[in-house]
Structure 1
């Protein structure tokens, strides 16, 4: 063998290994999927433990509804500051701080009532901790959207946002049975201890491994060029800019331009409607199964996993369907709207639960409805398609703020209607109506295109 042949052999082997190498952006997506799963487990933990916590601490049904809503009051109000912090300091630092703080607050819930505590004091403590959870989790989804915009080409962004958004369903499918079992065997406090340990481990992993595309040690020049040429905005993170986008601060004209965009108001309204179904599922659904259908807490953990699993599959299907339409030459508007409208129309089937007393049929209907909700949950993909490079986190945060007003309204309305009527029938019709609201908002939102500022 000649010297030239010998020299070329390792290069060929290295090239083959490079071709088999998993792109770094997929590992980034896997990491934010896992973090988002724990994020949703944290915020939905109270729904699984709610019946036990309510009984031990002495909360009424209406008081429990307010506790369920506490997260969203703070979550909505903290969205804008969270988005501005992300645009100023980047996702890596703000996400790490957010993850560490929300983990500590989650773990602290386990301490409430360890010593004899009046009901009002326990109520204030749990309410306050849920408020803090909302504040500290507020940057998470805007950070996810920012990371998707930074790391993924446009033609892959529907799938990327669908994957991290579907983590909310995966979290319930995975954690609801575990949390139900832990609550049944060891008590509700240990659920919050378990989530605290998971969150702290993920905080350490994030800080040690995560970086921007331009600065990540694992990203190859070929992958970086593929992201940039496909429309990924790799220079969003502070200190990593390749100089392609302006970093000028937002002013009144730019903010007015953002809020004057018709498509953005369409996604605001549709995200509100989508989240109404989300918050029914992560707050009152387990309580509905216990009090309305007579299931045991252990059964609820497994039953709640079925609609969640189908919501997860629907979420992935919506993202892949959207990107497939885009690759086949369909317009961005059609590729994002069609799965969204079909899915949210299907989600209205939740109202059919009021026509049957069969628990098995009710679970089947819920499963169908939440598959539709998953299919139609493309609000984050649309937001990353619309947001200007200079204000990706600002736009994501405002969308998330509008959407999560549903987290305030839905638990409280359901709490009052259940207490007033003694059943969940009105509550289910209330939730189903939001599916129609989403369809209407998506239908009239106009074309989907990125906002560009006039710099003249």
Structure 2
């Protein structure tokens, strides 16, 4: 992190460190909160007397609400300021979980999912608006990579933390404690004096500058790119274990080791991708190269039965490459965002993630119900190839627009 924070003036370096640390912690909370409800499904099933379909419906509600509110939240970020919206999201998500813990019912669960969806829509527009405005230009890719890594880490440690909370205070106590983390982090960011960002911070002469449209062809292509990226890895992340067991004869232990290797390598790849993103302006080509290689690896997994250690090695490399492109993906959005509209730009394209989150469980669940586990990886290859093509087209459009 020291290389990311290096700056000519000590005061600026300290401010950059404080900003990057605070925003990364907020992103950690967002991914942690994403997994709190799924980790507590066994408890909620018993306490609420419902089935997994009803519990899954709550997650669908979350995804739909988050998807519908990403773009409007981006407007709020640019209009009212990213800092206020980010703090509000942390508090809202925290209170949603705490209230569910205090009043357990299925209606409360659905209401909690709605509020968590609203809270989740805050993080990408607000986080990226603040980072884009306050990080050093030459180290922007690495700043984005640290921010993304913090989110991955939040998801990685969520099962252990929630399990510890359950052991101490039961399921309801785990909900309350998990929610309290969001509120406490909001207070921490206030104490850290996290800076603001947004179009409301007018610079001299900005009033006379012509307004630019936010919904541009480039951002629409990037929204599709984000959806394809989500679909490319969602099948492996969510259905990889059952696919490997059902179609490749892998044991439960071996399949879990392979998936853990994939997810862990993704987090490491994000950090490596930050350095690469700062050393090139051809972010679309970098993303295409990594996902092209990734497609070849996943195609090998889809079409052959590999020995356990070879499978784990292939999944590790595939995960690493999928992580490498994340900072370049974010740089593509930042470069395509009109001046003063970073919040709206990231809000719009992040909708693609939510669309992928809505479609992927249905698609890959249908594939498994059709007893075609190889196509969990095969469909991922198709989405990866489409991602390669769209990455190149997106960069070509951006370069044509700047000529």
Q: Please report the TM-score for the alignment, with normalisation by the length of structure 2.
A: 0.81
**Corresponding position of 1:25:** 16
Indicate if the aligned counterparts of 2:97 and 2:178 stay in contact, CA closer than 8 A. Answer: yes
The more displaced of 155-164 and 46-55 is 46-55
Q: Aligned partners of 2:78 and 2:158: how far apart in 1? A: 32
Q: Aligned partners of 2:215 and 2:387: how far apart in 1? A: 19
Sort the Cα spacing of 1:36 and 1:125 in 2 relative to 1 into closer, same or farther, 3 A: same
1:448 aligns with 2:395: no
- Mapping 1:354-369, distance limit 5 Å: 354=302, 355-356=304-305, 362-369=311-318
Once the two structures are TM-superposed, the CA of residue 103 in structure 1 deviates from its matched residue by 1.4
More helix by share: 2
Q: Aligned partners of 2:348 and 2:172: how far apart in 1? A: 34
**Corresponding position of 1:319:** 274
**Corresponding position of 1:82:** 73
1:148 aligns with 2:139: no
Sort the Cα spacing of 1:19 and 1:84 in 2 relative to 1 into closer, same or farther, 3 A: closer
Q: Which runs of 5 or more structure 2 residues have no equivalent in the other structure?
A: 1-7
How many residues get paired? 388
Q: Which runs of 5 or more structure 1 residues have no equivalent in the other structure?
A: 1-16, 214-234, 326-331
1:271 aligns with 2:232: no
**Corresponding position of 2:3:** none
Sort the Cα spacing of 1:76 and 1:40 in 2 relative to 1 into closer, same or farther, 3 A: same
Once the two structures are TM-superposed, the CA of residue 195 in structure 1 deviates from its matched residue by 2.1
**Corresponding position of 2:183:** 200
SS in 1 for 2:206: coil
Once the two structures are TM-superposed, the CA of residue 389 in structure 1 deviates from its matched residue by 1.3
SS in 2 for 1:243: coil
Q: Please report the TM-score for the alignment, with normalisation by the length of structure 1.
A: 0.72
SS in 2 for 1:82: helix
SS in 2 for 1:390: coil
- Mapping 1:161-310, distance limit 5 Å: 161-179=144-162, 189-212=172-195, 236=198, 238=200, 240-243=201-204, 245-246=206-207, 254-255=212-213, 258-261=214-217, 263-277=218-232, 279-280=234-235, 295=252, 306-310=261-265
Sort the Cα spacing of 1:38 and 1:236 in 2 relative to 1 into closer, same or farther, 3 A: closer
**Corresponding position of 2:4:** none
Once the two structures are TM-superposed, the CA of residue 304 in structure 1 deviates from its matched residue by 6.0
- Mapping 1:372-391, distance limit 5 Å: 372-377=321-326, 378-391=328-341
Deviation string 1:25-65 (CA, Å, 9 cap, x unpaired) is 13211211111011111113344444665576565565554
Indicate if the aligned counterparts of 1:274 and 1:438 stay in contact, CA closer than 8 A. Answer: yes
Sort the Cα spacing of 1:109 and 1:289 in 2 relative to 1 into closer, same or farther, 3 A: farther
Which of the numbers 356, 359, 363 marks the counterpart of 1:406?
Answer: 356
Indicate if the aligned counterparts of 2:22 and 2:194 stay in contact, CA closer than 8 A. Answer: no
SS in 2 for 1:139: helix
